[in-house]
Amino acid sequence: MSDMRTPLKKVRGLGSAHEGTDHFWRQRLTAVANVPLTLFFVGLLVALNGAGFAEVRATLSNPFVALVLILMLLSALYHMRLGMQVIIEDYVHNEGTKVVLIMLNTFFTIAVGVASIFALLKLAFGG
């Protein structure tokens, strides 16, 4: 029996998931945000080179410094998660393995973020 549907009707709903550009722009946005944040971080490292623990703790207790470092951590970790997700989606062809690796990628990013922010806040608040 011949199919009476038009070519457009046959492919409707099979197109783009409309998520590619969103992912692309998030990755670009975090990349742009990482530039000044990383420059601040490197400058802070250079300024604190050779400083004692008390001076580092005093610097990190400054709310501006602590907040900028938290922003840097969040932006860099999110950028890393997006980049690793692209690599997993492009190079892992087994769907089950792909889903597990994307989940592990997310859990790893959250674990590193929580541990890093905890350590930073502990130093900043003098725990």
Q: What is the pLDDT of residues 72-121, one digit of tens each?
A: 999 999 999 999 999 999 999 999 999 999 999 999 999 999 999 999 99
The percent of residues above 90 in pLDDT, for the chain, comes to 79
Largest CA distance in the chain: 83
Q: Note the pTM of the prediction, 2 decimals.
A: 0.81
State whether residue 96 is helix, strand or coil. helix
- Rounded distance between C-alpha atoms, residue 18 and residue 71, angstroms: 28
Q: What is the DSSP letter of 9?
A: H
- Rounded distance between C-alpha atoms, residue 29 and residue 89, angstroms: 20
66: Cβ contacts below 8 Å, ≥ 6 apart: 60, 120, 121, 124
- Report the candidate in 117, 87, 107 with the shortest Cα–Cα distance to residue 27: 87
Report residue 13's pLDDT band, with 50, 70 and 90 as the boundaries: low
Residue 21, pLDDT score: 83
Mean pLDDT, the chain, rounded, equals 90
Q: At what angle do helices 95-125 and 63-91 cross, to 10 degrees?
A: 170
